[in-house]
Structure 1
Amino acid sequence: MLEVLASRALLVALPFGLWFLWREVARRTGREMGSTPWAWLFAAGAVLMGVSLMATAVFHGDNRGQVYVPAEAAPDGRITPGHFEKRAPQTP
């Protein structure tokens, strides 16, 4: 979960990083810079996060029709991770 949150935070921070990098390059070359467009940067970050959420919904595997098997600890201390298994067909 932390990996997902970190990747989304990076997507929101990407427009800010690119803007400040471009602003620094422009200042070093002697160009006059206006004020920082905060609203546009927040909007761009929100759009990137929205696109990533939609892509996750479209491309993430669907686990409906499957049964979750929780993690188990064996007597020797090994742990089998939780996973999904296909549901057995129902017999009438």
Structure 2
Amino acid sequence: MGNSSSVLTQYDIEEVQEHCQRLFSQQEIVSLYQRFCQLDRNAKGFISADEFLSVPEFAMNLLSQRLLKMVDGLNFKDFVTFLSAFTAKASVQ
């Protein structure tokens, strides 16, 4: 599930949904996986700090250096969990 040549199965999608407390729909998980694969340029199965910095909005964020410490080396499940904190469906905690 971690590299760009793989395809998400229904089981993978449901597993990721459970991992992020179902804050994303199945279609959103598929879209996030496509974006993850774009960022994971070397198909390592995780995204490095440098790859995160390739996103202009992230690189320009004043908190990016702090966030980089949290996101360096995230695999897909952890990537989705990280992003779930920013969805309107997430609780304040």
TM normalised by structure 2 equals 0.30
Higher relative contact order (CA 8 A, sep 6+): 2
TM normalised by structure 1 equals 0.30
